[in-house]
Structure 1
Amino acid sequence: MKEIHKIFITGIGTEVGKTIVSAIFAQALKADYWKPIQCGDLQNSDTKKVSSMIQNEKSRFHPETYRLHHPLSPHAAARLENITLKKEKIQAPSTSNHLIIEGAGGLLVPLSERYTIADLIQTDYKVILVSRHYLGSINHTLLSLNYLKEINIAKIGLIFNGKAQSSTENIIREHCKFPLIGRLNEEDYLNITIIKNYANIWQKTILKWLENQS
């Protein structure tokens, strides 16, 4: 019986490429996709974006647990809509397939006064951290990785988003020692073909990483 993997895609902040990386992983593994919380842009949600970017006969797209209308952090959007986000209600969908789980913003984005996005990461999940290059990204990346270690998450892989910057990437990898899974280039546009190309390029590395984490 094959091992079923749950892979949580998080990032060092907002707009760093989590949705694109989620699509690539879903295509590479023919995995299911689930976004627990969608804040804003409900007509063009991340679930819809991912489903439009991948093409295979196996992936399924599971409904969000919470769909909030305001493009704010989950706790703020929920407050405006008189909703209390309950962590115990956010349960991964039942599936016999691999599951890609996309977070919202970074690890410490609040769900409530008590919980953050990081509290959604279960001990059996593998975690991919997406790091986009900008001034301050080294600090944000290392803080995120250190926090994952603090909460006893060790099955971690890195994705760099942006043109290669050796001085940035080398210092991050020297400090964290986690494997680099792939690089997302600055693309003028994205479509099914481009996502498939990335999936094909990253697939062997993803599978090897998963094998090493088992």
Structure 2
Amino acid sequence: MKPVIVTGTDTGVGKTVFAAGLTAALGASYWKPVQAGLEDATDSEVVAALSGRPTLPEAYRLKQPASPHLAAETEGLRIDTARLALPQVEGRLVVEGAGGVMVPLTREVSYLDVFARWSAPVILVARTALGTINHTALSLAALRGAGCRVVGVAFMGAPEPEVEDSIAQICRVRHLGRVGPLAPLDPQSLARAFEAIDLPAIEAAL
């Protein structure tokens, strides 16, 4: 098994779309450990539709679209992080976190703690919009401080070359490419967009 973690600087940065494109490009399986929010299509369902690849069952499926620790508490649950061990699969595995790097799973344990425990390479997904330099720098500092191996930053959104280059230089991180706005968003458009992603760098990290 060769896992890679996809996390983000915040909620709504395009992490799931990136994870779908990466899952397809690598011919991988996909796993979302904790799904919080079940009214709309789940992240696993989105990735399955966009990638055509196998998705593994979530360890937790929580109804409320909120931070995992709050969504669990609403249902009278506490997330047992022992259930979040990486599943054993043949080939490659894309694992997607929830929201940003520091999203809490319980009131004592964050996703960052679990990422560090997994010891798998991490891709950070960031917006290109205003504020992304600060959010990306803070996320990278947290990942590196926890001992995580960062493959690089992948950007989602309209091109902002000066911002993207600034992040790469200031944060001393590899620029893995950018996926622009996609309309329509479907497997074909996502596959074409992924031609701009540095897959050799990602594959070398696995």
TM range (shorter): over 0.9
Q: Quick check: 1:50 aligned with 2:43? A: no
Tell me what 1:113 maps to.
107
| Structure 1 residue 105, shift from structure 2 partner | 0.3
Secondary structure of 2:46's match?
helix
Q: Quick check: 1:134 aligned with 2:129? A: yes
User: Any residues of structure 2 matched to 1:12-91 within 5 Å, and which?
Assistant: 12-41=9-38, 44-55=41-52, 59-91=53-85
What amino acid maps onto 2:10 in structure 1?
Answer: G
C-alpha RMSD of the superposition = 1.6
Secondary structure of 2:64's match?
coil
Q: Quick check: 1:192 aligned with 2:202? A: no
CA distance in 1, matches of 2:62, 2:39: 8
Give ranges in structure 1 of 5+ residues lacking alignment: none
TM-score (norm. length: structure 2): 0.93
Equivalent pair of 2:7/2:99 in contact (CA under 8 Å): yes
Moved more, 79-88 or 159-168: 159-168
Q: Quick check: 1:207 aligned with 2:204? A: no
User: Any residues of structure 2 matched to 1:100-179 within 5 Å, and which?
Assistant: 100-121=94-115, 122-179=117-174
Report Cα offsets for 1:21-57 as digits up to 9, x if no partner.
Answer: 00111111100000000000355110001101123xx
Report Cα offsets for 1:139-185 as digits up to 9, x if no partner.
Answer: 11000001111011133211111122133212211122221112010
CA distance in 1, matches of 2:101, 2:201: 25
- Matched positions, count: 205
CA distance in 2, matches of 1:133, 1:182: 11
Equivalent pair of 2:29/2:54 in contact (CA under 8 Å): yes
Report Cα offsets for 1:69-104 as digits up to 9, x if no partner.
Answer: 000100111111000111111122110110000100
CA distance in 1, matches of 2:173, 2:156: 16
* Identity fraction in percent: 32
- In structure 2, the CA distance between the partners of 1:53 and 1:118, relative to structure 1 (3 Å rule), is same
| Structure 1 residue 61, shift from structure 2 partner | 0.8
CA distance in 2, matches of 1:86, 1:77: 14
Secondary structure of 1:50's match?
helix
Equivalent pair of 1:6/1:124 in contact (CA under 8 Å): no
Moved more, 132-141 or 59-68: 132-141
| Structure 1 residue 200, shift from structure 2 partner | 4.3
What amino acid maps onto 1:196 in structure 2?
Answer: A
What amino acid maps onto 1:67 in structure 2?
Answer: R
